[in-house]
Structure 1
Amino acid sequence: MYNSVKLKEECGVFGAFSLNTPIHDHIYYGLQALQHRGQESAGIAVLQGTYVNCIKDKGLVTDVFSKENLNNLIGNVGIGHVRYSTTGNNEACNAQPFVANFRDGYMALAHNGNLINAVELRQELENEGRILQTTSDSEIILHLIAKYYKLGLVESLKKTMNMIKGSYALAILMEDKLIGIRDINGIRPLCIGKKDDIYYISSESCALDVIGAELIRDVEPGEIVIIDKEGLRSFKIETKAAKMPCVFEYIYFARPDSVLEGMSVYKARYEMGKRLALESHVDADLVVPVPDSGVPASRGYSYQSCIPIGEGLIKNKYIGRTFICPEQKDREIGVRIKLNVLKELVKDKRIVLIDDSIVRGTTMKRLVAQLKKGGAKEVHVRISSPPVKYSCYFGIDTPTKKELVGATMTVQEICDYIGADSLNFLSVEGLRKSVGKKNICAACFDGVYPMEVPKEGNKYLFEKK
């Protein structure tokens, strides 16, 4: 996969509630807008009377749903999910939403995030005789809510939140209600929207824009939002946990037209480019972005440095995110098919090549070589985030530590490896200033996790070998 050189996204959740309007098509379009957050599977669950009808399968939103099967999902309240697996295999049984009928009613649940105590909780539930049908940590949340439901809806949700540790943005369908829940650190994003009589919850505001809804606000860390015929109600669990949203949402995962915590994602990326120019100026003739991930930062870099920007790399827009090379070993062909050099623009130029991150360094190495082969006199690489040095355990699928060049090489060694004339990364402090927040989860850069991560000896429990 060409995209394997990037960090993998987590998942996206979307939900809608209306008293009078069928919402199945709203959820479909909302999921399409969130497709960048997961391409492995998609699903929609809708309440129809006392029955929850759910259609889900492996594939993109447009693969899973058709006009015909969408017409079988007509209802006034429902949730949807697009998935990339961080815990659990890419199997059809792990597609979400999860739907369950239990003694006291029904439930459908969609989850974005990752539980760091999933192994412990799974063992406890299985010791109690509960049967878990998937390998996903999301199913654990569903079982816990059902287990404590005798305490009442709100208390069962609070009890579950006190049991689970990690990151989660949840969309839940239960008791004719749409429920949104965000983890106590606010690591994973979740927001509320409204259009006419319809309320929405969504991983990102871009999905609200698509259906013409207004962004009301973000769900707060540790907050439970319940939407029903009475309107919107809010409940919070007591916690001293610090608010620490994932900074990689601003760097790469979220769509640039989304707004997270009151900050435009595009503006944050533009600011990263400006600060990158202040921290690591170089005499050059042309700023060239790596499309599409480096575009906003490159514009900020160009503005701050007064170096003109140009499309030195042309993207083949008909190659999907999951493009597979004819020969998997020949990744160079994959890079050339997706990105080609505009030789007339780069010839005899000193180039500043901008991207948002370097993970393994393999793609950047080939891009630098392509630009030089295309006639570039110099190629100076500038990255609008710090070096990725640590694994994430909160919903991002990072490679093994030995595959992270930021963890195994110095900046100069990386520069030599990719063949650049110079290389600089944005500082962690510059990153914080760019997003306008001191409290962010930047653990993939500095190793400071928002909570203690379980270990076995000297290794983290979920650390890849």
Structure 2
Amino acid sequence: MCGIAGIVANFEVSGSLYWALYALQHRGQESGGISTYDNGTVHKYKGYGLVSEIFTNDILQSLSGKTGLGHVRYPTTGGSKPENIQPFNFLFRGHSLSIVHNGNLVNTDELRYEYEGRGHIFSTTSDTEVIAAILANEIIHGHTVGEAISFCMRSIRGSYAVIFMLDGVLYAFRDPLGIKPLCLGEFEDGGHIVASESVALDAVGAKLLRDVAPGESIRLKADNVYPRQIMTAKSPAHCVFEYIYFARADSVIDGISVYDVRQKTGSLLAGESPVVADIVSPVPDSGTAAATGYAAASGIPFREALIKNRYTGRTFIMPTQAKREMAVRMKLNPVRGHITGKSVVLVDDSIVRGTTSRRIIALVREFGAKEVHLRVASPPIIAPCYLGTDFPTREELISHHKSVGAVREAIEATSLAHISLEGLVEAIGIPCSHLCTGCLTGKYPVAIDGEEEESHGIEMIDPYKNPDL
């Protein structure tokens, strides 16, 4: 999971890229970077830390140019290594290429082996460099950029939203199933932005035009956007976990309000698993919208039993379990008056490993709760994600090897209930066949060795028509 943004405008873009990445910080907190293009020169800066820690005013002023892109990273493929911090920047045959990517390829090893056989030397362990190698190789061999993108999309398999800058021209493309989000916006004073979520557009004062369609590529100029549909599928497979957890609640993902989805999951959850209690409280922040829906539907008063320290990160996306556990007490502080002697319904977005849930419940009990009922706004996560979410093995997923009752005992809740898959799909408002629910069902929208595939009928449109991209 990462956050990406690219801007081409009639003004210097580094400041706007900074604020776009700042708005996408929830998608990655390990590292970040920005690359800009100005009169034949690529200016770049990247490092470990939050966006506000990496960039100073002086650094941003040094990143001159009216075209640029940026990235915030949560490490999945390739691990936590300094050479994997994006954007990646390359020079070849008189061209400059800068690239950022959100997603996860499932055929990285085969492609890396193939291109190493052609003499390509990889300097990172990231699948993003494989994408760059394919694009560069096609351009080196005389193909147009449009043809290079077509060949790349035909070659790679998995989830991907990609933005790249070739000789100062900005391009973007999205996988044919639309697994990872990508949206397009425009500035009132001239210019366009493409980014992972609409909140990045809000942060820089851009108007949301639309989502980049699954299988679509676009070339962006300050005054126009040139779209091209490269691949199609009989149905998309939007990542269900974007609506459950990843995306910010105030984002609009593929035309759907994330906040409204989460609130409705809470309402439906109250009907599916009622309980007698004194208060309903969210596990902030991703459980807040669901908790308001649960409280409204159940008639149980909404009270915040836990207050979030705004200066800590998201515990789920921290790179180690030890750091996640340490962060729980730093992140959340109970409100004694709302808890002592009360029966509390805690509403959370999901249970992945179970360790965080157990610690939160223990914390609420420590401050005097009489009962702690956990209600979860997602079905049990029973299978790994190969497409960009950090729960890669079944062994670390508590719901894979335990029943709901056994999980309840393990996390020491008074009661535990999840929303049904049917309820979650109803809350999102699009058919289940249009969602990637691999982590909830064990059935995946792309071919993965050893796993069950639900084919979405991906087709390639003639890659050599309309090569003016």
Q: TM-score, normalised by structure 2?
A: 0.91
- Which residue of structure 1 lines up, in the alignment, with residue 436 of structure 2? 441
1:191 and 2:187 are equivalent in the alignment:
no
- Which residue of structure 2 lines up, in the alignment, with residue 358 of structure 1? 351
- Which residue of structure 1 lines up, in the alignment, with residue 84 of structure 2? 94
- Which residue of structure 1 lines up, in the alignment, with residue 4 of structure 2? 13
* Structure-2 change in CA distance of 1:181 and 1:331 (3 Å): closer
Q: Is the 8 A contact 1:116 1:454 kept in 2?
A: no
Q: Distance in 2 between matches of 1:258 and 1:116?
A: 27
For residues 259-298 of structure 1, give each alpha carbon's deviation from its aligned partner in whole angstroms, at most 9, with x where no partner exists: 0011111111101111111111111121011112211100
* Structure-2 change in CA distance of 1:350 and 1:182 (3 Å): same
- Which residue of structure 1 lines up, in the alignment, with residue 145 of structure 2? 153
Query: In structure 2, which of residues 361, 373, 390 is the aligned counterpart of residue 397 of structure 1?
Result: 390
The amino acid of 2:79's aligned partner reads N
Q: Is the 8 A contact 1:287 1:353 kept in 2?
A: yes
Query: What secondary structure, in the 3-state scheme, does the structure 1 residue paired with 2:132 have?
Result: helix
Q: Is the 8 A contact 1:16 1:78 kept in 2?
A: yes
| Shift of residue 147, structure 1, vs aligned partner | 1.0
Q: Is the 8 A contact 2:372 2:413 kept in 1?
A: yes
- Which residue of structure 2 lines up, in the alignment, with residue 181 of structure 1? 173
Query: What secondary structure, in the 3-state scheme, does the structure 2 residue paired with 1:188 have?
Result: coil
> Aligned ranges for residues 103-114 of structure 1 at < 5 Å?
103=93, 105-114=95-104
Query: In structure 2, which of residues 431, 447, 451 is the aligned counterpart of residue 452 of structure 1?
Result: 447
The alignment's C-alpha RMSD in Å is 1.9
- Which residue of structure 2 lines up, in the alignment, with residue 221 of structure 1? 214
* Structure-2 change in CA distance of 1:62 and 1:332 (3 Å): closer
| Shift of residue 228, structure 1, vs aligned partner | 2.4
Query: In structure 2, which of residues 226, 236, 246 is the aligned counterpart of residue 253 of structure 1?
Result: 246
- Which residue of structure 2 lines up, in the alignment, with residue 459 of structure 1? none
Q: Distance in 2 between matches of 1:148 and 1:76?
A: 27
Q: Could you tell which deviates more after superposition, 367-376 or 139-148?
A: 367-376
Q: Is the 8 A contact 1:185 1:241 kept in 2?
A: no
- Which residue of structure 2 lines up, in the alignment, with residue 304 of structure 1? 297
> Aligned ranges for residues 401-420 of structure 1 at < 5 Å?
401-420=394-413
Query: What secondary structure, in the 3-state scheme, does the structure 1 residue paired with 2:443 have?
Result: coil
Q: Distance in 2 between matches of 1:331 and 1:441?
A: 26
Q: Distance in 2 between matches of 1:348 and 1:227?
A: 59
| Shift of residue 363, structure 1, vs aligned partner | 2.1
Query: What secondary structure, in the 3-state scheme, does the structure 2 residue paired with 1:151 have?
Result: coil
For residues 187-228 of structure 1, give each alpha carbon's deviation from its aligned partner in whole angstroms, at most 9, with x where no partner exists: 000000111211000000001101111000000000001112
- Which residue of structure 1 lines up, in the alignment, with residue 274 of structure 2? 281
Structure 2's unaligned 5+ residue stretches are: 452-469
The amino acid of 1:146's aligned partner reads A
Q: Is the 8 A contact 1:41 1:57 kept in 2?
A: yes
Q: Distance in 1 between matches of 2:82 and 2:12?
A: 27
| Shift of residue 95, structure 1, vs aligned partner | 0.9
| Shift of residue 433, structure 1, vs aligned partner | 0.7
- Which residue of structure 2 lines up, in the alignment, with residue 5 of structure 1? none
The amino acid of 2:17's aligned partner reads I
Q: How many residues align?
A: 443
The amino acid of 1:141's aligned partner reads I
The amino acid of 1:409's aligned partner reads K
| Shift of residue 102, structure 1, vs aligned partner | 1.3
* Structure-2 change in CA distance of 1:337 and 1:70 (3 Å): closer
Query: What secondary structure, in the 3-state scheme, does the structure 1 residue paired with 2:151 have?
Result: helix
Query: What secondary structure, in the 3-state scheme, does the structure 1 residue paired with 2:380 have?
Result: coil
Query: What secondary structure, in the 3-state scheme, does the structure 1 residue paired with 2:444 have?
Result: coil
Q: Could you tell which deviates more after superposition, 95-104 or 314-323?
A: 314-323
Structure 1's unaligned 5+ residue stretches are: 1-9, 457-465
Q: Is the 8 A contact 1:272 1:426 kept in 2?
A: yes
> Aligned ranges for residues 201-350 of structure 1 at < 5 Å?
201-228=194-221, 231-240=224-233, 242-321=235-314, 334-350=327-343
Q: Distance in 2 between matches of 1:236 and 1:365?
A: 47
Query: What secondary structure, in the 3-state scheme, does the structure 2 residue paired with 1:148 have?
Result: helix
Q: Is the 8 A contact 2:8 2:191 kept in 1?
A: yes
Q: Could you tell which deviates more after superposition, 86-95 or 329-338?
A: 329-338
Query: What secondary structure, in the 3-state scheme, does the structure 2 residue paired with 1:154 have?
Result: helix
